Amino acid sequence: MLSPTPPDTTGDDDATRILFERSHRARNYRLTLRRDGVAVATIPARGSEREARRFVNEHLDWLRRARARQRRRPRGAEIWTLGAHVLWRGALCVIERAGDAPADRPAVLLGAECFRVARLDGDLRATLEAHFQRRARVELPARAWQLACETRVPVREVAVRNQRTRWGSCSSSGVISLNWRLVQTPGSVRDYIIYHELMHLKEMNHSPRFWARVGEVCPGWRDAERWLKENGSLLGL
């Protein structure tokens, strides 16, 4: 359980935007950068805020570089109108009017795929995301069951959820949960996340043994991780 302490207010801009949090489960001091640009310094159960501040000061160069990388990451459009770019199937596609759609049943194109919309003006985001979620509820469980059979990993249930901070998760009871936004990623990235969760049903940790299992079933997992780090911001993750 994390309990926040007041943010550091000394030093330069990097230091003023650091939140110190104590974790009873953490074993070491950690410095991480959240997607909203706030840096979080984690204090282990037996640690002190004084030592945490020293740890942060030693890693300010890393924090500046991490913030610079974050500023360079691409951001998706907040409002999805005709002409906006949306990530779909791993590619940035322009929302285009489907020219052959009848006037009383308008539709838009994303790449080669067509989606019905109620109207062509205004923000289309809610409508298109609803289409994406319906696709995800069909496609993601089907692919997860297929890969579970191929890897001979027993799975009890596959759920598709609107997770805001993770791509997937699993429980020791054999339930895998997948983020519906995976339908917007390349197929190789989608498969990596599924393999990742399947291997967690064998190793409920991130030990070297776990990553060895991931590498056996998904040799390109490092490329998939790199894609997620570089493009996840387009999906708000």
DSSP string, the chain: -EEEEPPP-SSSHHHHTEEEEEESS--S-EEEE-TTS-EEEEEPTT--HHHHHHHHHHTHHHHHHHHHHHHHS----SS--TT-EEEETTEEEE-EE-TTS-TTS-EEEETTEEEE-S-SSS--HHHHHHHHHHHHHHHHHHHHHHHHHHHT---SEEEEE--SS-SEEE-TTSEEEEEGGGGGS-HHHHHHHHHHHHHHTT-SS--HHHHHHHHHH-TTHHHHHHHHHHHGGGGT-
User: Does pTM top 0.85 for this prediction?
Assistant: no
Using the structure block, give the residue that is written with the tokens 């805020």: 49
User: What's the CA gap between 65 and 13, in Å, rounded?
Assistant: 13
Reading the block at residue 178, the tokens are 């997948």
Q: Diameter of the chain by CA atoms?
A: 67
User: pLDDT tier at 3 (50, 70, 90 boundaries)?
Assistant: very low
Q: Average pLDDT of the chain?
A: 88
pLDDT in tens, 168-198: 999 989 999 999 999 999 999 999 999 999 9
Q: Classify domain 128-235 at the CATH class level.
A: alpha beta
Distance from C-alpha of 10 to C-alpha of 17, rounded to nearest angstrom = 10
Burial of 201 (0-12, 13-18, 19+ CB in 10 A): buried
Lowest mean pLDDT among 67-71, 113-117, 198-202: 67-71
**Domain assignments of the chain as residue spans, ordered by start:** 2-72, 85-126, 128-235
Q: Quick one: average pLDDT of 14-26? A: 79
What pLDDT score does 237 carry? Answer: 72
pLDDT above 80 for 146: yes
